[in-house]
């Protein structure tokens, strides 16, 4: 006889976010043990303080001096003249990234890589937060054994909570936020910890008297939408830890891209071109590693008033030539109203065919 089935709700979601610590710098320190414990700054050549270009990342020792990603390299030199300045080795970073992502992917039901050193895993199958914590600890261990590098992990009921949690005890951190502790965990954190809330939005929120995520959660949504449009409603729900986005596992790359927000808005064409060159080198390293060729190249630029322009070019044939990426991207730099400064620049390659037949199972590759 068929017994009636018990009524059960959907299983609770458990999301894990993993982010490598000082990724490029940590790899350089692994390759050059003599750099261990020193302030290591990966990025453009500082040229005794006259260098153009920006910092890619800095070791935690260098961050004590105030050095951080996207800062002009000349400023980093000023803050930390005794630092070890290293030019990036993207091929190596991409290979290490691949090792990390392979391990992470095998640990989850669903896996989504979101940047070179960062991924979300849906680990709802662990069933409860005690098992999820054990799984996260095992993942940290496996990554360290394979690569010699540390990462930080956050676990929570949504992507936004997991992401904020992974940043909470960096480096080498593990923070688990159970559903009942979400508002307690978020409320006292500065509002800038919400992904996407940068210097500009932070300043505007401070003017409303909003300093913490708790302050943001208590403010009237309409006040936020008046100020930020749709984005206002988005950050309001994020402040409550509400985030329905699923971990999206996609087969094959749709595009690979890189974006950088400058520390200070700039009108220097040379800096824009140099930044595109660095991004081209990094994306080319991904192409080589993933055996891909592309047809479409897109440059995106956002100005100080948040006016965003993109320009693309699609080639007739698939290609993977680094100098072609660089030169085409320079030509695609869009014009802007006279006197406007640029705050963000991005480069994207898409329209892939696998070279030599191998296809990956990793999703988009966006910072
Ligand atoms: P992040 O994870 O943002 O930084 P990180 O890993 O260096 O440090 P953290 O411990 O805080 O996570 O970025 C990963 C890599 O991406 C970083 O090592 C270098 C590169 N990167 C840039 O090149 N430019 C940038 O503006 C940023 C933010 C990162
Ligand atoms: Mg990182």
Q: Could you report the per-residue pLDDT of 122-140, keeping only the tens digit for each?
A: 999 999 999 999 999 999 9
Is the pLDDT higher at 350 or at 307?
A: 350
Closest atom of ligand 1 to 58 CA is 7
Ligand 2 centroid, distance to 126 Cα (angstroms): 25
Q: Which of 18, 19, 23, 173 has most ligand 1 atoms within 8 Å of CB, for mutation? A: 23
Backbone phi and psi for residue 162, each to the nearest 5 degrees, phi listed first: -60, -40
Q: Which pLDDT score, from 0 to 100, does residue 363 have?
A: 34
pLDDT band, residue 10 (cuts 50/70/90): low
Sequence ranges of the domains in the chain: 1-184, 188-247, 255-365
Residues annotated as catalytic (active site), given as ranges: 118
Q: Which pLDDT score, from 0 to 100, does residue 334 have?
A: 84
pTM for this model (two decimals)? 0.83
Tokens encoding 178: 């159970």
Residues with CB under 5 A from ligand 2 (ion): 19-20, 23, 117
pLDDT band, residue 6 (cuts 50/70/90): very low
Q: What is the CATH number of domain 255-365?
A: 3.30.1490.100
Residue 210 scores a pLDDT above 50? yes
Q: What is the CATH number of domain 1-184?
A: 3.30.70.270
Q: Which of 69, 100, 281 has most ligand 1 atoms within 8 Å of CB, for mutation? A: 69
Q: What is the CATH number of domain 188-247?
A: 1.10.150.20
Equal fold, 188-247 vs 255-365: no
Q: Which pLDDT score, from 0 to 100, does residue 365 have?
A: 34
Where do the DSSP E strands lie in the chain?
Answer: 15-20, 40-43, 55-58, 84-86, 110-115, 118-122, 151-156, 174-176, 255-266, 292-303, 308-319, 342-350, 353-354
pLDDT tens figures, 11-45: 689 999 999 999 999 999 999 999 999 999 999 99
DSSP H or E segment with residue 273:
helix 269-290
Residue 262 scores a pLDDT above 70? yes
Closest atom of ligand 1 to 171 CA is 10
112 and 363 Cβ atoms separated by less than 8 Å: yes
pLDDT tens figures, 74-92: 999 999 999 999 999 999 9
Q: Which pLDDT score, from 0 to 100, does residue 43 have?
A: 95
pLDDT tens figures, 151-165: 999 999 999 999 999
pLDDT tens figures, 42-68: 999 999 999 888 999 999 999 999 999
pLDDT band, residue 362 (cuts 50/70/90): very low
Locus of tokens 């559903």: 179
Closest atom of ligand 1 to 170 CA is 10
Range of weakest confidence among 99-103, 167-171, 363-367: 363-367
Mean predicted lDDT score pLDDT of the chain: 91
């Amino acid at each position: 006889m068929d017994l009636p089935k018990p009524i059960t709700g959907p299983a609770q979601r458990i999301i894990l976010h993993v982010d490598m610590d000082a990724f490029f710098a940590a790899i350089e320190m692994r390759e050059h043990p003599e750099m261990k414990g020193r302030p290591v700054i990966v990025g453009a050549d500082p040229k005794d303080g006259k260098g153009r270009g920006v910092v890619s990342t800095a070791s935690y020792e260098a961050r004590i001096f105030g050095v951080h990603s996207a800062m002009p390299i000349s400023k980093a030199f000023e803050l930390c003249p005794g630092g070890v300045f290293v030019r990036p080795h993207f091929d190596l970073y991409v290979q290490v990234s691949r090792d990390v992502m392979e391990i992470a992917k095998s640990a989850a039901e669903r896996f989504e890589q979101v940047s070179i050193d960062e991924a979300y895993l849906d680990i709802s199958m662990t069933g409860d937060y005690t098992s999820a914590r054990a799984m996260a600890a095992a993942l940290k261990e496996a990554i360290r054994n394979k690569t010699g590098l540390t990462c930080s992990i956050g676990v929570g009921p949504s992507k936004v909570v997991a992401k904020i949690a992974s940043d909470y005890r960096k480096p080498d951190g593990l923070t688990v936020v159970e559903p009942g502790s979400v508002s307690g965990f978020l409320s006292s954190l500065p509002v800038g910890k919400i992904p996407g809330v940068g210097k500009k939005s932070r300043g505007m929120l401070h003017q409303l008297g909003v300093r913490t995520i708790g302050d943001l959660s208590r403010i009237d949504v309409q006040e936020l939408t008046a100020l930020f449009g749709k984005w206002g409603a988005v950050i309001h729900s994020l402040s409550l830890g509400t985030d329905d986005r699923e971990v999206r596992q996609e087969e094959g790359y749709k595009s690979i891209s890189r974006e950088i927000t400058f520390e200070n808005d700039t009108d220097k064409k040379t800096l824009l071109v140099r930044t595109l060159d660095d991004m081209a080198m990094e994306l080319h390293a991904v192409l080589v590693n993933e055996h891909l060729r592309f047809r479409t190249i897109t440059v995106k630029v956002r100005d100080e008033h948040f006016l965003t322009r993109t320009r693309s070019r699609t080639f007739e044939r698939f290609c993977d030539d680094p100098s072609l990426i660089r030169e085409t991207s320079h030509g695609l730099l869009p014009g802007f109203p006279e006197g406007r400064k640029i705050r963000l620049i991005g480069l994207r390659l898409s329209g892939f065919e696998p070279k030599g037949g191998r296809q990956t199972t990793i999703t988009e590759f966006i910072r």
